[in-house]
């Protein structure tokens, strides 16, 4: 068994996520408490007791998902379950880097808190929207986005073959959706996000994030972490801080990241955090690999049993 960890990003959040883990495991509670001290946010209260609307604000979503993922990692580490490679979707790349000891616990909490705030506060004025398009190939989606005339829209997340998320101005995205339906898209799903993420419209947020990244230590991961930006592992020649800053204005290449992991021999993918979106993407690429999701006490205990056997 060759294990790869996957870490979800924004859009996978649900109110109350991780509450059963928090109530059962002292290690999980400790992670939430430590993260709350570092961030100055009561993350347990935010995640378990706020509202869907409050949790879905970018400045709150990112840190809440990160902390849930880090808490689950704590239990997996205690049980001796290790990954040989990992990747994350957008925000999830920070969880992956924390797992691979590239960024310390304290620094990853600080920088993800800042990233969420910057992506929220420096979203330009206007109405923005993201949507997942199923059933069209990459080239067709790219072509339709280029021909939209009513507003800015571009591909933002290359999720898996036949599924791309688009991002941009509400009018532009709506026009693209109509054109994609006409072109034979099987399904289109609006996403629970609040800005034109992974597009040039977040340039100011990217520049400010670059400044914030100078305040933390980042080193080469101890196991391969596949970058969203080009679907290759971080290496010695990478300027990691520059890559992380540019991350918010470049498309996420998750599909190719998963393919890289598969070619590297990963045969067991474990998604750590809310939802099961990423294992769903992997399944679309290769139905023969083992897929595990950990987002509750029940799924955690089952995963430990499977991964230790």
Contacts of 65 (CB under 8 A, 6+ apart): 8, 9, 10, 12, 13, 17, 91, 92, 95, 273, 274
Closest CA to 6 of 262, 298, 287, 288: 262
- DSSP, collapsed to helix, strand or coil, labels residue 305 as helix
Catalytic status, residue 102: no
Among residues 90, 95, 102, 206, the one annotated as catalytic is 90
198 is catalytic: yes
Q: Cα(306)–Cα(205) distance, rounded to whole angstroms?
A: 42
Element (H, E) at 84: none
C-alpha 167/C-alpha 156 separation (Å) is: 6
Could you give the CA distance from residue 278 to residue 300 in angstroms, rounded to a whole number? Answer: 17
* Active-site pick, 56, 102, 165, 198: 198
The whole-angstrom separation of Cα 104 and Cα 184 is 46
Burial class from Cβ neighbours inside 10 Å (0-12, 13-18, 19+) for residue 86 reads buried
CB-based contact 216:77 (threshold 8 Å):
no
By annotation, the residues acting in catalysis are 90, 198
């Amino acid at each position: 068994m060759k294990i790869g960890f996957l870490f979800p990003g924004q859009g996978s959040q649900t109110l109350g996520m991780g509450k059963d883990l928090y109530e059962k495991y002292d290690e999980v509670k400790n992670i939430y408490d430590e993260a709350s001290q570092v961030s100055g946010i009561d993350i347990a209260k935010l995640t378990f007791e706020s509202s869907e609307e409050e949790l879905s604000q970018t400045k709150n979503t990112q840190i809440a998902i990160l902390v849930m993922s880090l808490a689950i990692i704590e239990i997996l580490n205690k049980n001796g379950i290790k990954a040989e490679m990992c990747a994350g979707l957008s925000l999830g790349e920070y969880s992956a880097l924390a797992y691979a000891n590239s960024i310390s616990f304290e620094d990853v909490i600080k920088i993800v808190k800042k990233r969420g705030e910057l992506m929220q506060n420096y979203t330009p004025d206007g109405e923005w929207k993201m949507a997942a398009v199923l059933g069209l190939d990459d080239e067709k989606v790219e072509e339709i986005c280029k021909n939209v005339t009513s507003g800015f829209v571009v591909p933002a997340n290359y999720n898996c073959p036949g599924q791309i998320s688009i991002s941009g101005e509400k009018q532009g995205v709506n026009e693209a959706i109509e054109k994609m339906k006409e072109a034979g898209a099987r399904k289109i799903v609006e996403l629970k996000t609040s800005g034109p993420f992974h597009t040039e419209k977040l340039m100011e947020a990217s520049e400010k994030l670059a400044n914030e990244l100078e305040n933390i230590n980042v080193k080469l991961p101890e196991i391969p972490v596949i970058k969203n930006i080009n679907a290759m592992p971080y290496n010695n020649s990478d300027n990691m801080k520059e890559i992380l800053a540019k991350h918010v204005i470049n498309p996420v290449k998750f599909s190719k990241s998963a393919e890289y992991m598969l070619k590297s021999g990963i045969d067991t993918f474990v998604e750590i955090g809310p939802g099961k979106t990423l294992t769903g993407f992997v399944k679309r690429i290769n139905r023969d690999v083992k897929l595990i999701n950990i987002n509750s006490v029940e799924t955690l205990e089952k995963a430990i049993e499977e991964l230790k056997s």
